[in-house]
Amino acid sequence: MRASSSVVIATSLVIAAAASADTPVGDPGMGSNAAPAPATDPAAVKPEDMPIAVRMRRLEQKTQALKERAWQLKARVQLLKEQMIGGGVGAQAVVSHQSDMGSSFRITKLSYSLDGTEIFVRSDDAGETLYKTTSFDVFTGPISPGNHTLVATAVYRGHGFGMFSYLSDYTFTVTSPQAFIVGEGKATKVACRGFERGGATVALENRAAIECKISESSPESSTPAATPTPAAGK
Question: Is residue 126 located within the same domain as residue 23?
Answer: no
SS3 per-residue string spanning the chain: CHHHHHHHHHHHHHHHHHHHHHCCCCCCCCCCCCCCCCCCCHHHCCHHHCCHHHHHHHHHHHHHHHHHHHHHHHHHHHHHHHHHHCCCCCCEEEEEEEEECCCCEEEEEEEEEECCEEEEEEECCCCCCHHHCCEEEEEEEECCCEEEEEEEEEEEEECCCHHHHHHHHCEEEEEEEEEEEECCCCEEEEEEEEEECCCCCCCHHHCEEEEEEEEEECCCCCCCEEEECCCCCC
Q: Do 105 and 213 belong to one domain?
A: yes
The region of weakest confidence among 23-27, 43-47, 82-86 is 23-27
| Residue 61 sits in the same domain as residue 163 | no
- The answer to the question of residue 35 being in a domain is no
pLDDT of res. 67: 79
In this prediction, residue 232 carries a pLDDT of 44
Whether residues 75 and 113 fall in one domain: no
pTM surpassing 0.75? no
Q: Are residues 74 and 130 in the same domain?
A: no
Domain contains 233: no
Q: Is 209 among the domain residues?
A: yes
Domain count, the chain: 2
Q: Is 174 domain-assigned?
A: yes
**Model confidence over 111-140: pLDDT tens digits?**
999 999 999 999 987 767 888 888 989 999
Same domain (yes/no): 62, 97: no
Verify that 60 and 116 share a domain, yes or no. Answer: no
| Residue 115 and residue 219 share a domain | yes
**22 and 72 share one domain:** yes
Please tell me whether residues 79 and 114 are part of one structural domain.
no
The answer to whether position 140 is within a domain reads yes
What is the pLDDT, as a whole number, of residue 81? 57
Q: What is the pLDDT of residue 87?
A: 46
In a domain, 165, yes or no: yes
**208 and 157 assigned to the same domain:** yes
> Does residue 11 carry a pLDDT above 60?
no
Q: Which of 36, 60, 83 is the last residue of a domain?
A: 83
Query: Residue 178: its pLDDT value, please?
Result: 95
* Range(s) of the domain holding residue 161: 92-228
- Does residue 39 belong to any structural domain of this protein? no
Give a yes or no: residue 36 inside a domain.
no
pLDDT band per the 50, 70, 90 thresholds, residue 172? confident
Same domain, 61 and 135: no
Mark residue 95 as left, alpha or beta (left: phi above 0; alpha: psi -120 to 50; beta: remaining).
beta
